[in-house]
């Protein structure tokens, strides 16, 4: 534990005197705590309380701190000596006994007796607690008693009022009480709340010192409320006095606020001439900055540092240097500050960050009649002087993000310092749906699912919307908010019918309607705030409308085979499974033997569709289903000419989307469904019937697909009925390859060879020149050198020109109509088979 320099000196003096046999008694004004449970108060070390006690000196000016709460344990041995007369506002005839424990927790943090050999140490040995019971035994209370408690404290001598409680509702009445305290030089300290949302009132009023909480790692607790009104943070977890003379661990911003109140009592005890504003400012300007440089919405001005508040000199211009835009000091959009312009040549800059589009309001009062010029970076300029104290604040439209404000004297030649007070506030934007405060002014929304955002930008704001539904279906409405200052409420009404109201949650909750069956007509939706707020709310609501039209199956009734919907080939039919017993029958006809393709798509991925195929006598020909999670089912089957039926079912009904059914049929030519009418049909059929080619086994020959070297070697070996083979060894093809035997025979016959690098490239596609070369080799053609090139895109330098001349001259290849051959393009399976058929038939 560190001792200040003068304490070390005292300690060394005592040690020296003891060693020389002399006895002397020395007592420091604020020695280190000897309270037995001080070791459990680790939060005090975070705010440097030992150093603060040493720095406080022997000035023990008593400061009365009012605790407006659930009362205080008036007989607690660690508090009884530090209490002054209080009041019970709930039962005026009784004393302010604590029947909850919360107020006792708060009081102990501030003023548990110091060095009394009992329990813990309070932060401010000079503090006297005024217990004011304004809350019920369950910890709840209203603004009336809260305001009454603050006013009682002010009127009965309290210098500090700590309020470890809060409301989401702004109140003109409570704002007036807060101003009453400020006017009487009483400091209000309040907890921000513990919901991880907007700062509660009264902490949110500009002149109240709003306190949040941090954990042992000096990070803002996720439960601590935050926002533009936050001023300071203090430790979240404490060990403090409890009901019945005991002690307990507690947490929350309710425990952070009394630490700041205790620190304020120490500061005021040492500097009794300070004003409430100066004490507040001193605590802020000496805090340990935790987040981004300067003020921020999560930790305010930083972590309370009591020792620095007692030792660092007070700065009237605590934001300096901020005399240029680049040095602008960060300032909350909801705060009150006082400072000074040293002369006419001085100027100050502030940076204000807005979380939404809206308006920044600035109230400025100063000590000089010449006034101060206020200029925003948007170019808007205002003049304030001492005669405008009752004037309206300046209001400037801003967009979400940063706005800069410059202050400078109107008279730039003055040598006199000008003191000013600056009050900032923010008003959120008007949403684009206004004016829709009445039902007859309801904003029309399209007939679909949608998400919209709106605001309550004025007192008693209501937002009406209307949807004109042309189709029956289902609808669910959800209303969510981004601030605890809104207690959202939904009203939904079909025109001419009784409305329903949804208000299940409280402040900051999300309201969700049940899934409703809706029918054609106008549906009105009203969005409102349950609370009777007297000012705009800084926050947005989000309205989510989930609308699903009820789809109609155009094929019904088709639940029986004799009701089957006739499905023409290559047409799409949409349908629904409207109940778990629903079945849909379709009929189709095969005009000739061939391949039927039945494709079912757009199946909900959470459903399984079943399809049964029947012939004209209703004899089942097959049963099929889609894979789980798949949105389609594909059936392919060879059928004779005739009439067939498809029966569709699902494992569970669905009405939100329509399945799509499409049936096609193809004639099978030599077992292939994709060669009918193709220019190479005859050649493909010939070689297929001779067993030379077999396609891909799924009724596909793929005539336009490039042919690979392995495929070409296989087909030519079969066509020429080659039997002799040569053992080959290629780096990319061993004896286990499906085409190895065919390639070996083609190599033996001199029709194909490998590449110089020892590979064969079985999966490489064949070029038209390689195809021509391979077929020429099968006929023992070696090419000729004489004559002109038969093709315009092949000259005598091309490696295969001799073969092309011979194959063209003998009528094997003819090229394209424009006189070109495109020798390096890929050869298709149809081209290879056509040339091969000519070779076989020669």
Outline where 73-142 has alpha helix (H).
102-111
Query: Residue 650 is inside which H or E element, if any?
Result: strand 642-650
Active-site residue, 254 included: yes
Catalytic pick among 69, 221, 307, 431? 69
According to DSSP, the residues that pair with 622 across neighbouring strands are 613
CA distance linking residue 747 with residue 754, whole number of Å: 8
What the block records as the tokens of 90 is 């709930």
What the block records as the tokens of 283 is 């605590």
3-state DSSP assignment of residue 531: coil
CA distance linking residue 258 with residue 263, whole number of Å: 8
CA trace torsion 771, 777, 779, 780 (10° rounding): 160
CB 323 within 8 A of CB 349: yes
3-state DSSP assignment of residue 331: strand
| Residue carrying structure tokens 């206004």 | 434
CB 650 within 8 A of CB 624: no
Query: Residue 7 is inside which H or E element, if any?
Result: helix 5-19
Active-site residue, 69 included: yes
271: Cβ contacts below 8 Å, ≥ 6 apart:
279, 314
CA distance linking residue 198 with residue 483, whole number of Å: 6
Nearest to 46 by CA among 246, 219, 182, 293: 219
Catalytic pick among 164, 171, 253, 254? 254
3-state DSSP assignment of residue 54: helix
Catalytic pick among 73, 102, 457, 674? 102
Active-site residue, 102 included: yes
CA distance linking residue 501 with residue 503, whole number of Å: 6
Contacts 24+ apart (CB under 8 A), 676-681: 678/703, 678/830, 679/830, 680/830, 680/831, 680/833, 680/834
3-state DSSP assignment of residue 177: helix
229: Cβ contacts below 8 Å, ≥ 6 apart:
192, 199, 203, 204, 205, 206, 210, 332, 334, 335
Catalytic residues: 69, 102, 254
């Amino acid at each position: 534990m560190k001792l200040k320099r003068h304490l070390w000196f005292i300690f060394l003096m005592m040690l020296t005197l003891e060693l020389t046999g002399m006895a002397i008694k020395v007592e420091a004004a604020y020695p280190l705590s000897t309270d037995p449970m001080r070791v459990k108060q680790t939060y005090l070390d975070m705010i440097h309380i030992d150093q603060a006690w040493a720095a406080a000196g022997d000035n023990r000016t008593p400061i009365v701190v009012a605790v407006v709460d659930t009362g205080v344990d008036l007989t607690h041995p660690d508090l009884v000596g530090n209490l002054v007369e209080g009041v019970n506002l709930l039962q005026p005839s009784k004393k302010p006994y604590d029947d909850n424990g919360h107020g006792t927790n708060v009081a102990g943090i501030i003023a548990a007796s110091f060095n009394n050999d009992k329990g813990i140490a309070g932060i401010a040995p000079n503090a006297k607690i005024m217990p004011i019971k304004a809350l019920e035994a369950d910890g709840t209370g209203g603004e009336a008693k809260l305001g009454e408690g603050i006013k009682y404290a002010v009127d009965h001598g309290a210098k500090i009022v700590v309020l470890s409680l809060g409301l989401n509702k702004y109140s003109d009445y409570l704002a007036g009480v807060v101003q009453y305290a400020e006017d009487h030089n009483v400091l209000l300290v309040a907890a921000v709340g513990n919901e991880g949302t907007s700062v509660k009132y009264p902490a949110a009023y500009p002149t109240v010192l709003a306190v949040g909480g941090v954990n042992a790692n000096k990070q803002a607790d996720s439960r601590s409320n935050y926002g533009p009104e936050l001023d300071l943070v203090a430790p979240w977890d404490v060990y403090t006095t409890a009901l019945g003379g005991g002690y307990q661990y507690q947490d929350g911003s309710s425990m952070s606020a009394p630490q700041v109140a205790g620190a304020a009592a120490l500061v005021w005890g040492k500097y009794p001439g300070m004003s409430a504003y100066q004490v507040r400012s001193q605590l802020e300007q000496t805090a340990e900055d935790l987040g981004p440089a300067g003020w921020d919405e999560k930790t305010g001005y930083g972590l309370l540092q009591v020792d620095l508040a007692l030792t660092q000199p007070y700065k009237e211009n605590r934001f300096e240097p901020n005399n240029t835009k680049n040095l602008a000091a960060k300032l909350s959009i909801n705060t009150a500050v006082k400072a000074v312009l040293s002369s006419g040549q001085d100027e100050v800059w502030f940076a204000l960050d807005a979380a939404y589009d809206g308006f920044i309001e600035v109230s400025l009062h100063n000590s000089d009649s010449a006034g101060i010029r206020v200029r925003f970076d948007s170019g808007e300029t205002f003049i304030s002087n001492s005669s405008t104290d009752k004037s309206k604040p300046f209001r400037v439209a801003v967009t979400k993000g940063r706005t800069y404000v410059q202050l400078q004297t109107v008279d730039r030649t003055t040598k006199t310092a000008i003191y000013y007070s600056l009050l900032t506030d923010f008003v959120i934007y008007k949403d684009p749906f206004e004016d829709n405060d009445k039902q007859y002014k309801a904003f029309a929304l399209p007939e679909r699912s949608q998400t919209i955002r709106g605001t309550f930008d004025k007192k008693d704001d209501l937002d009406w919307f209307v949807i004109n539904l042309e189709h029956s279906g289902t609808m669910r409405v959800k209303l969510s908010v981004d601030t605890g200052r809104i207690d959202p409420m939904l009203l939904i009404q079909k025109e001419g019918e009784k409305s329903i109201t949804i208000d299940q949650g409280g402040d900051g909750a999300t309201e969700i309607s049940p899934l409703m069956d809706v029918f054609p007509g106008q549906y009105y939706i009203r969005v409102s705030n349950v609370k009777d707020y007297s000012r705009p709310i800084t926050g947005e609501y989000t309205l989510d409308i989930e609308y699903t039209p009820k789809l109609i199956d155009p094929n019904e009734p088709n639940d029986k085979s004799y009701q089957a919907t006739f499905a023409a080939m290559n047409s799409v039919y949409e349908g629904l499974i409207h109940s778990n017993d629903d079945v849909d029958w379709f009929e189709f006809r095969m005009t000739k033997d061939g391949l039927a393709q039945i494709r079912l798509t757009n199946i909900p991925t959470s459903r399984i569709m079943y399809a049964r195929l029947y012939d004209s006598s209703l004899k089942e020909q097959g049963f099929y289903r889609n894979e789980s999670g798949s949105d389609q089912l594909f059936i392919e089957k060879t059928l004779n000419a005739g009439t067939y039926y498809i029966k569709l079912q699902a494992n569970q009904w669905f009405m939100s989307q329509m399945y799509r059914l499409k049936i096609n049929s193809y004639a099978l030519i030599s077992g292939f469904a994709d060669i009918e009418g193709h220019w190479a049909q005859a050649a493909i059929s010939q070689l297929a019937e001779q067993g030379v080619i077999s396609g891909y086994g799924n009724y596909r020959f793929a005539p336009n697909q490039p042919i690979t070297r392995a495929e070409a070697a296989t087909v030519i070996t079969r066509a020429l009925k080659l039997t002799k083979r040569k053992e080959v060894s290629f780096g990319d093809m061993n004896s286990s390859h499906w085409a190895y035997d065919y390639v070996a025979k083609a190599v033996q016959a001199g029709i194909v060879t490998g590449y110089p690098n020892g590979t064969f490239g079985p999966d490489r596609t064949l070029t038209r020149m390689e195809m021509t070369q391979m077929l020429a080799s099968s006929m023992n053609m070696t090419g000729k050198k004489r004559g002109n090139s038969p093709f315009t895109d092949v000259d005598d330098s091309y490696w295969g020109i001799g073969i092309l001349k011979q194959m063209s001259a003998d009528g094997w290849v003819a090229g394209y109509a424009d006189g070109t051959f495109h020798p390096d393009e890929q050869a298709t399976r149809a081209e290879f088979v056509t040339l091969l058929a000519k070779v076989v038939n020669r």
